[in-house]
Structure 1
Amino acid sequence: MTGVPAVVVAAPSSGSGKTTVTTGLIGALKAAGHRVAPFKVGPDYIDPGYHAVAAGVVGRNLDPNLVGTELIGPLFAAGSAGADIAVVEGVMGLFDGRILEGQDDPTGFGSTAHVARLIGAPVVLVVDAAGHSQSLAAVLHGFIGYDPSVRIVGVILNRVGSDRHEAVLRQACVRVGLPVLGVLGRNPDLTVPSRHLGLIPAAERRDDAVRAVDAMTGLVGAALDLPAIVAAARTRVSQTTTAWSAGTVMAQEGMAQEGMISADGRRPVVAVAGGAAFTFGYAEHREMLVAAGADAVGFDPLHESLPSGTDAVVIGGGFPEEHAEALAANEPLRADLAAHARAGRPIVAECAGLLYLATELDGHPMSGVLDVVGRFRPTLTLGYRDAVAPGDSVAFTAGQRVTGHEFHRSTVIAGEGAPTPAWAWRDHDGTAGTHGFASGSVHASYLHVHPAGTPSAVARFVSAARAAAATPERAG
C-alpha cells in the first residue's frame, strides 16, 4: 500500500502552460521543504528534465501505452519512494489519448485522465484564460461531468489579463464549484525556449535551464496556494500495489548481478551515450542494466570516446542535428564505434542513435556503422507504433511485439548494403512497412521503447554484452 500524496496537473488542451506551472510548483514545494517525486504522463523526455532540475531528483514517465496499465501503479510507487508528495504533469488535453479498436471508454488510453485514475490522484486544471470570460464556467462544467471518475479538485488560471479579468474568471469557477488554486498573469518571461521538436532539453541549456527553473519557482510559487494544493494531494486514494523493482524484474528474466560476472571476474561494461546531443532516455533503463549485472557507464559523444573496457553501447534519442558538426569532429569516437561494430559487439540505438550510426547526417560524417544516410526534413513523424520484430536481434526475438513511440523530423536513406529491418508495423493509413535496421550485433531504429515494458530485451542485450566481455578485443 502506498500512501504518498499526489496531484496531477492537467489542462483542457496543449499549450495551456502545464510545463511551466508544473515545474514551478515542483520547485516551490521543494523550496518549502517537501521531498517531491516528479512524473510526466506519456513518452515525453524533455519535460522530465526540467522537473528534475526543480526537484533535485530524476523525473520519470508514466505511460500505459509503453508499459501497460498494470505497471503504472508499481512504477509510480517506485518513483515516489522516499518522497512526501508527488507531482504528475499531464499530456495534451486531460482526456486526450490513444483510441484503441473496440474501445468505448470516453477517456483516451494513456491519457492524463487514465493515468490519474490508475494512481488514484486528484486533478488540478491549468486553464489558459487569455480567451475566456464567463464562458469558462461552461468549459469547466463539461470537464467535470465528462468522466465523473476523474476528480477535478481545482483550477489554476494562467495568462490572466487584469484584476477585472481575474474577478470574472473567479466567478465562473465559483459557479461550477471549483476553487481557484492559483492565478498567473500574462508574463512572457514564464516560457521555456523551444525549437522544431518542442522545448529545448534542460541538459542542453544547463545554466540557462537552472535560471529558468528558478524563475518559474519564484513566480509560479508565489502565485499558487501551496497549502491548498498539498491538501488536495492528500486526498489521493491509495492503491494496493508493490513498488516496481529493477532487481526483481531482471531476476524474473533469469538475470541476476552475481550471475552476470564474466569468466575473468568482470561485470560487462555498457556505455550509455548522454550529453547535450543524446538527452532522451528513461531512468529505469540504467537501473535495469545494473540489475542485470552490467556496469552502465555514461559518456558524452560530443567530447569523449568510449569508456575503457566497453563491451556494449546504448545510444538513445536526442538532437544530433543540432550538434552534427561537433559529433563529426569527434573522430576517435566515430572510429571506436565502427571498430566496436566490426568486432560484433552489441549496439542498440534509438532515433538520434540511428542517425549517429549512419555514414553521414546532412553532409556531416557520422560513425558509419550502418550503410544509411541521414537527412533532416520539415515533416514531423509522431505517434505510437505497435511493432513486431521480423527476426532475432541483439535485443529482441523474432515475433516479439512491442508498443513504441516515434518522434522525429529526419529520415534515413539505406544503401545497398543495409541490414535487415528491425521492425515491421502498419502506418496510420494501414500501409504495412518495415523500419529500422538489425544485424547480428546492431539494432537501430526510430522507435523508442520503454525498458520497463520490454525487460526481456534488456536481459538479452546484457547477455550479449557478457558474451562480448569474454572476447579479447574491444574498443575504448
Structure 2
Amino acid sequence: MSGVGRVPRIVLAAPSSNAGKTSIATGLIAALTARGLAVSPHKVGPDYIDPGYHGLAAGRPGRNLDPWLVGEERVAPLFLHGARSADLAVIEGVMGLFDGATHPSVEPGFSSTAHVAALLRAPVVLVVDASSQARSVAALVHGFATFDPAVRMGGVVLNRVGSDRHETILREALGAAGMPVLGAIRRLEQLHTPSRHLGLVPAAERSTEAVATVDRLAHVVADGVDLDAVLALARTAPPLSASPWDPAAEVEPVPGRPRVAVAGGPAFTFGYAENTELLAAAGAEVVVVDPLRDEALPEGTAGLVVGGGFPEVYAAELSANERLRADVGALAARGAPIAAECAGLLYLARELDGMPMCGVLDVRTAMSPRLTLGYRAAVAPSDSVLAPAGARVRGHEFHRTSAQPGAGATPAWQWSSAAPEGFVTGGVHASYLHLHWAGSPGMATRFVAAAARLPEGLLHAHR
C-alpha cells in the first residue's frame, strides 16, 4: 500500500479513438488485480461506461477525472481519494492524447488526457493500433512523445499486431527511436466488447457475460504485456503534494438523516461515485432502487435521484412497472426533491417512444437519429432543489433522444445562445445535462436539505 500522494500510476493513452484503450486498460487492471495488487481504476473525461468495466476488473469503483467538470484544482485530490489503499492506479485516457474540450472559454487541450497526465505527473503509455503500419509507427510515436514537454511518454503497447514478422518490424523501429515497447497484442476477437448507439454496452447490463469478457481480457494482456515493466514505470511517478478529496469537507451536514433513493440497475448505470458520497456526507441515508425490479420506492423515501443510462433499451419493462411509476409520481406530487439527468428526464416524462413513463413531466421523449454530445457551461435561470438562481455549473450532454418540449415554463439551465433546457417544477429538477457534483458540492447539501424539509406525514401517505 502506498502513502498519501505516493500512489504509483500510469496513464493509458492513444493517438486517436478506437485504438483499443478500454480493452487493454480493463485487461491490465484485471491482470494486475489477479496478481494480488489493489488497483485503483480511473477514466479521463465524462465517460460512464468504461469505468464500469474498470470497476468490474478491479473490484472497486471506477472513477472519472475531468478538469472541465470539477476544476483543475480537484483532479489530484479526487485521484488520491479514489486511490486510497491502492498499490497502484491505472488511468485510461479519452480520444487522442491531446484532444480536449473545444469550448471557447478554455485553452486548446483542456481536459485532454495529456492535461490530466500533467496534473497527476503520471507517465504515459501509448496504445497504438499497429494494424495498418510498420516502420511508420516510430515516426508516429516520436511525434506524440515530443509534442508537449509536460507529458512524459514511458512506453508503447502495440495493439492489433498481425504476425511475428509484423511485431519484429514494429519493435525494431521503436527500438531505434529509443521508445520502450511494453507489450504487443495480436488481433483477437476476445478483445471485442459489444457496442450500440452510445458506445460500449455497460458492464452492469451484461452481468456474467461481462465478467467472462474481463477475464479473457486479463489473460490476453497478461500474455502480451510485460506487467513488471508496467509496474516499474508506474513507480517512477513522483509524489503528489495534494491531499485526498474528502466529501465531508465539501458539504454542510443536514440533520434528520432523510432517506434519498438513487436509481440503479441495468437501466440507470450512469453516475459518478462522488455524487452519492456527497449525498451521504450531507446527511442523507442513501438507498438504491432498481426501476426494472422494485415495485415501490423504499419506505420513507424523501428524495429521489435518477441519473443517466439506457431507459430507451428497457422502455417496455420500465413502462410495465406501473406501481413504481405511480410511486414516483406520488413522490413528486408531494413536493419531494427529485433530480433527474438525461435518462432520468426520460423516465419522468409522460412517454418514451410511445410507452407510458412516470408522467411527472408533460413531455414526450423519443429516440433521435442525432447524437447530442459536448461540454456545456450552464447557468441556472431560477432557484431549484439543486442550485440557486444565477448558479454557474459545468456539465456535459450525451444522448440520442429528444424531448418535446425541450424546456418548461421554468427551465433547468441556460447556456450560450441556445434555447433554455430542462424543467424545474415543484421539487423536480430534470435536464439532459450531466453534472459531477464534486464540481459544485453545494448541490448535495441543497438537495438533502430539501428532502429533510419534507413533512414526515407525507412520506407514508400513499402506502
Instruction: Give the aligned partner of residue 298 of structure 1.
Output: 288
CA shift, 1:469, in A, is: 4.8
Alignment of 1:266-285 (within 5 A): 267-285=257-275
Give the one of 248, 255, 262 matched to 1:260.
Answer: 255
CA shift, 1:439, in A, is: 1.3
1:363 aligns with 2:358: no
How many angstroms apart in 2 are the aligned matches of 1:15 and 1:471?
Answer: 54
Alignment of 1:17-36 (within 5 A): 17-36=20-39
Give the one of 58, 63, 66 matched to 1:60.
Answer: 63
How many angstroms apart in 2 are the aligned matches of 1:473 and 1:202?
Answer: 34
How many angstroms apart in 2 are the aligned matches of 1:303 and 1:239?
Answer: 44
CA shift, 1:101, in A, is: 3.6
Report the secondary structure of 1:118's partner residue: helix
Instruction: Give the aligned partner of residue 378 of structure 2.
Output: 387
Aligned-CA RMSD value: 1.4
Give the one of 95, 100, 122 matched to 1:92.
Answer: 95
1:242 partner letter:
S
Give the one of 385, 406, 410 matched to 2:397.
Answer: 406
Q: Is the CA contact 2:275–2:437 (under 8 Å) kept in the aligned structure 1?
A: yes
Q: Is the CA contact 1:354–1:444 (under 8 Å) kept in the aligned structure 2?
A: yes
Instruction: Give the aligned partner of residue 118 of structure 2.
Output: 117
Give the one of 412, 436, 441 matched to 2:427.
Answer: 441
1:373 partner letter:
R
Give the one of 454, 457, 460 matched to 1:468.
Answer: 454
CA shift, 1:420, in A, is: 1.3
How many angstroms apart in 2 are the aligned matches of 1:30 and 1:415?
Answer: 45
> CA 1:224/1:362 → structure 2, altered by over 3 Å: closer, same or farther?
same
CA shift, 1:472, in A, is: 3.4
Q: After TM superposition, where is structure 1 displaced by more than 2 Å over at least 4 residues in a row?
A: 99-104, 469-476
Instruction: Give the aligned partner of residue 18 of structure 2.
Output: 15
Alignment of 1:283-432 (within 5 A): 283-304=273-294, 305-414=296-405, 418-426=408-416, 431-432=417-418
How many angstroms apart in 2 are the aligned matches of 1:439 and 1:328?
Answer: 23
Instruction: Give the aligned partner of residue 230 of structure 2.
Output: 229
CA shift, 1:86, in A, is: 0.3
| Cα deviation code 1:286-323 (max 9, x no counterpart) | 11111111101001001112111100000000000000
2:139 partner letter:
A
Report the secondary structure of 1:216's partner residue: helix
1:168 aligns with 2:154: no
How many angstroms apart in 1 are the aligned matches of 2:422 and 2:242?
Answer: 37
1:230 partner letter:
L
Q: Is the CA contact 1:36–1:84 (under 8 Å) kept in the aligned structure 2?
A: yes
How many angstroms apart in 2 are the aligned matches of 1:33 and 1:415?
Answer: 50
Q: Is the CA contact 2:103–2:375 (under 8 Å) kept in the aligned structure 1?
A: no
How many angstroms apart in 1 are the aligned matches of 2:36 and 2:425?
Answer: 51
2:50 partner letter:
D
Q: Report % sequence identity.
A: 57
Instruction: Give the aligned partner of residue 264 of structure 1.
Output: none
Report the secondary structure of 1:43's partner residue: coil
Q: Is the CA contact 1:388–1:423 (under 8 Å) kept in the aligned structure 2?
A: yes
How many angstroms apart in 2 are the aligned matches of 1:464 and 1:103?
Answer: 34
Q: Is the CA contact 1:100–1:109 (under 8 Å) kept in the aligned structure 2?
A: no
Instruction: Give the aligned partner of residue 201 of structure 1.
Output: 202
Structure 2 unmatched ranges of 5 or more: none
CA shift, 1:242, in A, is: 1.0
When normalised by structure 2's length, the TM-score is 0.97
Give the one of 40, 43, 47 matched to 2:46.
Answer: 43
How many angstroms apart in 2 are the aligned matches of 1:270 and 1:469?
Answer: 14
| Cα deviation code 1:368-417 (max 9, x no counterpart) | 0000000111110000001000000111110001110000000010299x
CA shift, 1:440, in A, is: 2.3
How many angstroms apart in 2 are the aligned matches of 1:182 and 1:241?
Answer: 32
How many angstroms apart in 2 are the aligned matches of 1:472 and 1:228?
Answer: 60
How many angstroms apart in 2 are the aligned matches of 1:306 and 1:47?
Answer: 29
1:260 partner letter:
P
CA shift, 1:452, in A, is: 0.4
How many angstroms apart in 2 are the aligned matches of 1:165 and 1:44?
Answer: 33
Q: Is the CA contact 1:268–1:469 (under 8 Å) kept in the aligned structure 2?
A: no
How many angstroms apart in 2 are the aligned matches of 1:350 and 1:127?
Answer: 35
How many angstroms apart in 2 are the aligned matches of 1:286 and 1:325?
Answer: 28
Q: Is the CA contact 1:203–1:275 (under 8 Å) kept in the aligned structure 2?
A: yes
When normalised by structure 1's length, the TM-score is 0.94
The number of aligned residues is 458
CA shift, 1:436, in A, is: 0.5
CA shift, 1:85, in A, is: 0.3
Report the secondary structure of 1:411's partner residue: strand
How many angstroms apart in 2 are the aligned matches of 1:114 and 1:60?
Answer: 17
CA shift, 1:268, in A, is: 0.3
How many angstroms apart in 2 are the aligned matches of 1:358 and 1:460?
Answer: 24
CA shift, 1:273, in A, is: 0.2
Report the secondary structure of 2:377's partner residue: strand
| Cα deviation code 1:147-169 (max 9, x no counterpart) | 02100010000000011111110
Q: Is the CA contact 1:119–1:238 (under 8 Å) kept in the aligned structure 2?
A: no
Q: Is the CA contact 1:24–1:218 (under 8 Å) kept in the aligned structure 2?
A: yes
Report the secondary structure of 1:356's partner residue: helix
Q: Is the CA contact 1:38–1:58 (under 8 Å) kept in the aligned structure 2?
A: yes
Q: Is the CA contact 1:422–1:436 (under 8 Å) kept in the aligned structure 2?
A: yes
